[in-house]
Amino acid sequence: MPPTGEPLVLERGPRTVVVAGADAGPDAEELAHAGGWPLIAEIVSGARFGRQLVHGYRRLLARDDLGRRIERVVVLGHPTLSREVTALLSRTDVEVVARRRGGEALDLNHRTRGVGAVSVAPGAPDRDWLGAWLQASTAEVVDLSEKAPDPEGLASTDFAARREAVKAELDAVRRPLDRELLVDAVWRATWPHDRLVFGSSRLVRVADQVLGGKKVPVHANRGLAGIDGTIATATGIALASQAAGAPGVTRVLLGDLAFLHDVGALLLPPDETEPRLQVIVGNDGGGTIFDSLEVASSARATDLDRAFYTPHTVRLEHLALAYGWEYQRVSTRTALDQALTSPRGGRQIIEVPLSR
Ligand SMILES: Cc1ncc(C[n+]2csc(CCOP(=O)(O)OP(=O)(O)O)c2C)c(N)n1
Ligand SMILES: [Mg+2]
């Protein structure tokens, strides 16, 4: 067994999946491609793209014909977003190979092999294995696209049919934003020349569950999943990319408490470069990730609110004004798309009200 840090050539044979966690980067996709293995890529991995990407991986990992049959996992980066991946990496009947670049070693099953680099031995890929995953994956794709307008209904000479079609279209335009539509809009607006940062909250989990593949640089503070310093992190990423001459815009998507926790990072000292940064806040009035904790079903609602939800009524637009940021509040998909895709070049806060 090579000591941690040595390169490892992976023999073909065992039924293998590649898991990409935070900071994995595009190498994970390259490895999956080279091995002909299914790719499970968390939304913060920077590897959620390519033809071998598996959609709805949490459900597929739980299946007897897929997840249970895994014999080997190659992990890149630091996975944190699902208990299914944690369970997989904890299995003692699965060989786990972890490529880490700094940070704490990963060894949930007490027999994980840490390596500095991985490559694949020559040979033929196991097409049946990959095929089974990709076929199951197709059924897991989440369609968040807007329903196409009904041209026949709109052009109909029948008044009732026309009224129905117009109403359907207006409803679609006015449909209030929810978390799925919010993460979808941010993902659609972001391109390979941009950068995307996720705060720790419900939104990153929703994004992980519903978004498809796209080659976009993604960052997140997933070490201990802190909500602190998210705006500062995004500012650093924006400024570093600008200093390197990169085009595009940096976007950070975070919850209202994570935003308030780092409100000091909105301050731009007079002589500093202005970041091209969109801060998108999903505002549900407190920390709603805790509503899914087990204690939420037994504790008194008022106690839960005080200790976990920690409600607030801070007016974000006043903070924006105080710190010299552009500010927009948007509540429909059309308005959000417009706000996201017309960056004004400087510092922009986009508030999206969400229901609890
Ligand atoms: C520094 C730090 N303090 C506390 C926590 C615990 N924590 C995790 S999520 C969360 C609330 C996040 O609320 P918000 O940003 O509004 O996101 P939401 O869950 O509402 O989507 C808190 C306090 C943490 N992760 N990091
Ligand atoms: Mg919140």
- What is 91-120 written as a DSSP string? -TTSEEEEE-SSSSPP-TTS-PEEESEEEE
Q: What is the pLDDT of residues 194-230, one digit of tens each?
A: 999 999 989 999 999 999 999 999 999 988 889 999 9
- CA pair distance 189, 201, nearest whole angstrom: 21
Q: Determine if ligand 1 sits within 6 Å of the CB of residue 203.
A: yes
Indicate the pLDDT class of residue 3, thresholds 50, 70 and 90.
Answer: very low
Q: Which residues surround ligand 2, an ion (CB under 5 A)?
A: 255-256, 284
Indicate the pLDDT class of residue 5, thresholds 50, 70 and 90.
Answer: low
- Tokens 């630091």 label which residue? 78
Map out the domains of the chain as residue ranges: 7-138, 143-174, 179-353
pLDDT value at residue 1: 41
Q: Determine if ligand 1 sits within 6 Å of the CB of residue 207.
A: no
Percent of the chain with pLDDT over 90: 83
Task: Identify each DSSP E strand in 218-332 by its residue range.
Answer: 218-220, 250-255, 277-283, 326-329
CA angle 61/5/88 to nearest 5° reads: 10
Q: Which of 222, 224, 289, 309 to mutate to test the pocket of ligand 1 (most atoms within 8 A of CB)?
A: 289
Phi/psi of residue 145, each to 5°?
-70, 155
- Tokens 């709109």 label which residue? 154
Q: Is 66 helix (H, G, I), strand (E, B) or coil?
A: coil
Q: What is the pLDDT of residues 283-298, one digit of tens each?
A: 999 999 999 888 888 9
Superfamily of domain 7-138: TPP-binding domain (3.40.50.1220)
- Tokens 């705060």 label which residue? 199
Q: How far is the CA of 310 from the centre of ligand 1 (A)?
A: 10
pTM of the model: 0.93
Q: Which of 183, 227, 316 to mutate to test the pocket of ligand 1 (most atoms within 8 A of CB)?
A: 227
Q: Which of 2, 17, 134, 15 is nearest to 75 (CA)?
A: 17
Q: Which of 37, 14, 44, 72 is nearest to 221 (CA)?
A: 44
pLDDT value at residue 95: 97
pLDDT value at residue 30: 97
Conformational region of residue 216, where left means phi above 0, alpha means psi within -120 to 50, and beta covers everything else: beta
Q: How far is CA 136 from CA 35, 132, 288, in A?
A: 19, 6, 32
7-138 and 179-353: identical CATH topology: yes
- CA pair distance 324, 239, nearest whole angstrom: 18
Task: Please compute the mean of the pLDDT values over residues 104-116 and round it to a whole number.
Answer: 91
Phi/psi of residue 117, each to 5°?
-155, 150
Indicate the fold that domain 179-353 takes in CATH.
Rossmann fold (3.40.50)
- CA pair distance 27, 75, nearest whole angstrom: 11
Q: Determine if ligand 1 sits within 6 Å of the CB of residue 256.
A: yes
Q: Determine if ligand 1 sits within 6 Å of the CB of residue 42.
A: no
